[in-house]
Amino acid sequence: MTLALTERLGLKDRAWVLSTSELDPDSPIAEDTELIITVGGDGTIIRASRLSVPRGIPILGINMGRLGFMTELRAEDALDKVPQYLEGAARVEERSMLHVDYIPAGERNGQNGGSGGKGVRYHALNDAVVGRGAIARLVNIKAFIDGAHLTDFRSDAVIAATATGSTGYNLSVGGPILPPQADEIILKAVAPHVGMAPALVLPVSSVVELVVETDHPAILSVDGYMDSDLSFGDTIRVQTSDHRAHFLRAHPETHFYETLTQRLGFGGGQSSTRAIQY
C-alpha cells in the first residue's frame, strides 16, 4: 500500500517511508514534511503523532485495522481518494491532548512538576492510565482535582482520557464517548472496589493528580505503549497539553456520528437493536 501510494502520487523521490518502530521523535527527517500519511490503525497514528505533533504536521490516516476511530480513509478507497486531499479538498481538524507528569515521591508540591529532578513528562493523544503492575492486586490511588481531594480509589486502574481516547480503553470499561473536538478530560476508574465507579467529565482547565498509595508495584501507561514503573508516593499529574494533534479531514464533522455504530461493530451505521454490553 505504501509503495503504491508514493508511486501513484508521484512522490517516490520526495517522500520518506518508515515503520512506526523506526520513528524517532527527534529525527530531522520531518523538518520539511507537510503531511504524514499513516497506513495501519489508531495505534499507528498514536505512534506517528510523536513525530507530527511537536511540528504541527497533519496526519491522514488510512485504516488497515478494525475500528479506526482516528483514521480517515478505508484501505480500498485510499489510492483513488488521497490525491483529492492533496489538492486542497480537505480541512485540518485539531484534537486535544494531555500533558502528563510523572512526579517521584516527595516532589509533588514542587513548582516544576515533572520537568525537573527525576520526573518524566509525556504528551498523550489517547490516555494516561495508572494501574496495577505484574502482580494481580488492586492498587490504591488517591485522586485530587485542582488540589481538592476527590476520593481514594481501590481498583485495577484509573484512566485519564481525552475525547480521542474516549473511544478506547475508557469506552471498554463503560466510560462516556465525547465528540472528537471536545477539550474536556475524562476520569474513569477500572473495576473499582472502593471509590467512585461513574466517570467524571472535567473542564479543560482541570488539573488531576493521582497519588500511588500501594505497597506493591504499579505502572503508568501513556497511550498504551509508553510505560513507567511507579512506587508508593509517586504522583501522576494530568492536565490539558499545549500541544494539539492535527488531522486532515474531508468528511463533515457529523461523519463521526454517522459511522459510530459501524466502527463499534454494531451494524452498518443504521440504528440497531443491539446494545453495547459491559
CATH, range 97-242: 2.60.200.30
Segment 41-66, tens digit of pLDDT: 999 999 999 999 999 999 999 998 77
* Amino acid (1-letter code) at residue 258: E
What distance in Å separates the CA atoms of residue 106 and residue 101, rounded to the nearest whole number? 14
Say which residues have a Cβ less than 8 Å from residue 232's Cβ, sequence separation at least 6.
105, 212, 213, 214, 215
Closest to 39 measured CA to CA, from 60, 11, 53 = 60
Give the percent of the chain with pLDDT over 70.
Answer: 91
Structure confidence at residue 111 as a pLDDT band (50, 70, 90): very low
Number of Cβ within 10 Å of residue 54's Cβ equals 13
In whole angstroms, give the CA distance from residue 24 to residue 173: 32
Give 252's DSSP letter.
-
| Sequence spans of domains, the chain | 2-88, 97-242
pLDDT at 201 over 90: yes
Please give the radius of gyration of the chain, using alpha carbons only, rounded to the nearest integer. Answer: 20
The set of catalytic residues is: 42
pLDDT of residue 170: 96
pLDDT tens digits along 161-179 = 999 999 999 999 999 999 9
Q: How much is the pLDDT for 112?
A: 45
Nearest to 37 by CA among 65, 18, 56: 18
pLDDT tens-digit map of 79-90: 888 988 888 889
Domain 2-88 has CATH 3.40.50.10330: yes
Q: Is the pLDDT of residue 270 over 50?
A: no
On whether the CB atoms of residues 38 and 73 are closer than 8 A, the answer is no
